[in-house]
């Protein structure tokens, strides 16, 4: 595909992601006056979460349009489309709850939209592992890349076939939780790969890595805290603000 076509594709995907965020915000505004029952993420927290998503597709569009043959920008576009889909699923389900009959097939559509979450989840380790060249730091990291890719495929497939596979019982739940844990571990190790890459880098690459490594470690800490359930300890609102801040810091770095 020609560079010009790839550039158009990059900005088209960015536009799709921003449109998804706008649609999610619209549903939040429409349902704002009706409080959600306990157990549901409040409208305010859903709105805060959107702040941390805007930078991802924009960053992906900037990189992919200028370096269309480098996979790194396309990874950010995939990540930047996946998370808005997942957030739209939450807003879609919530609005269908407070306004029964207002939306078409809320359960089915929400399930399909939620698949964006596993996609973004699977991509996350590679955002750190391939920075800034679009290639692995060395051959030694191939095993980690294969583990992350395989685990991501498993998580996506199980979420496609089952509703909430991590919350059930039996082999499906065990496999889902195990694969998700492998992705968490890969994300943390990918953040550490930036430190290893920094030690061997020089010039411009070293400067790029300096700030990105710091932001990546903070993002990885937030990722680990989420897996440990610290969001319930600190409260959903505060954790959403923290998550949005760490995500924005990563985009800026």
Residue 190 and residue 104 in one domain? no
Tokens coding 231: 């969001």
Residue 52: domain span = 1-114
Residue 3 and residue 38 in one domain? yes
Q: What is the predicted pLDDT for the residue at 43?
A: 92
Higher pLDDT, 187 or 167: 187
Would you say residue 195 lies in a domain? yes
Q: What is the predicted pLDDT for the residue at 120?
A: 95
Average pLDDT value for residue range 89-115: 93
Among 114, 135, 169, the domain boundary falls at 114
Confidence of residue 228 (pLDDT cuts 50, 70, 90): low
Residue 83 and residue 109 in one domain? yes
Q: What is the predicted pLDDT for the residue at 58?
A: 95
Residue 77 and residue 186 in one domain? no
Distance CA 26, CA 33 (A): 13
Residue 78 and residue 173 in one domain? no
Q: Answer whether 153's CB lies under 8 Å from 122's CB.
A: yes
Residue 168 and residue 208 in one domain? yes
Confidence of residue 146 (pLDDT cuts 50, 70, 90): very high
Tokens coding 5: 């076509």
Among 65, 85, 114, the domain boundary falls at 114
Tokens coding 189: 């190790």
Q: What is the predicted pLDDT for the residue at 111?
A: 92
Q: Answer whether 186's CB lies under 8 Å from 148's CB.
A: yes
Residue 81 and residue 156 in one domain? no
Distance CA 23, CA 231 (A): 26
Among 87, 114, 141, the domain boundary falls at 114
Instruction: State pTM to two decimals.
Output: 0.87
Q: What is the predicted pLDDT for the residue at 235?
A: 58
Residue 69 and residue 154 in one domain? no
Q: What is the predicted pLDDT for the residue at 200?
A: 82
Would you say residue 2 lies in a domain? yes
Kindly report, residue by residue over 193-221, the tens digit of the pLDDT: 888 888 888 888 888 888 887 787 777 77
Distance CA 111, CA 206 (A): 42
Residue 93 and residue 144 in one domain? no
What's the domain count of the chain? 2
Residue 42 and residue 102 in one domain? yes
Residue 35 and residue 105 in one domain? yes
Would you say residue 119 lies in a domain? no
Kindly report, residue by residue over 40-58, the tens digit of the pLDDT: 888 988 898 898 899 999 9
pLDDT at 232 over 70: no
Higher pLDDT, 230 or 71: 71
Q: Answer whether 10's CB lies under 8 Å from 81's CB.
A: no
């Amino acid at each position: 595909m020609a560079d010009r076509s790839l550039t158009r594709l990059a900005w088209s995907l960015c536009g799709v992601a921003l449109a998804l965020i706008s649609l999610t915000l619209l549903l939040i505004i429409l349902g704002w006056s009706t409080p959600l029952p306990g157990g549901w993420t409040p409208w305010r927290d859903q709105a805060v979460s959107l702040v941390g998503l805007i930078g991802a597709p924009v960053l992906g569009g900037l990189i992919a349009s200028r370096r269309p043959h480098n996979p790194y920008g396309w990874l950010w576009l995939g990540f930047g489309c996946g998370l808005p889909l997942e957030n739209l699923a939450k807003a879609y389900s919530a609005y269908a709850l407070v306004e029964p009959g207002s939306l078409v097939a809320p359960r089915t559509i929400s399930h399909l939209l939620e698949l964006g979450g596993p996609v973004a989840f699977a991509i996350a380790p590679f955002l750190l592992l391939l920075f800034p060249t679009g290639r692995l730091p060395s051959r030694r990291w191939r095993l980690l890349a294969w583990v992350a890719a395989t685990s991501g495929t498993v998580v996506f497939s199980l979420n496609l076939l089952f509703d909430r596979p991590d919350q059930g019982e039996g082999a499906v739940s065990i496999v889902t939780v195990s694969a998700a844990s492998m992705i968490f571990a890969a994300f943390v190790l990918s953040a550490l790969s930036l430190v290893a890459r920094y030690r061997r880098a020089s010039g411009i690459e070293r400067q790029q890595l300096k700030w990105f490594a710091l932001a990546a470690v903070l993002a990885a800490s937030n990722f680990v805290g989420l897996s440990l359930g610290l969001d319930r300890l600190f409260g959903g609102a505060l954790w959403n603000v923290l998550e949005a801040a760490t995500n924005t810091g990563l985009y800026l770095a």
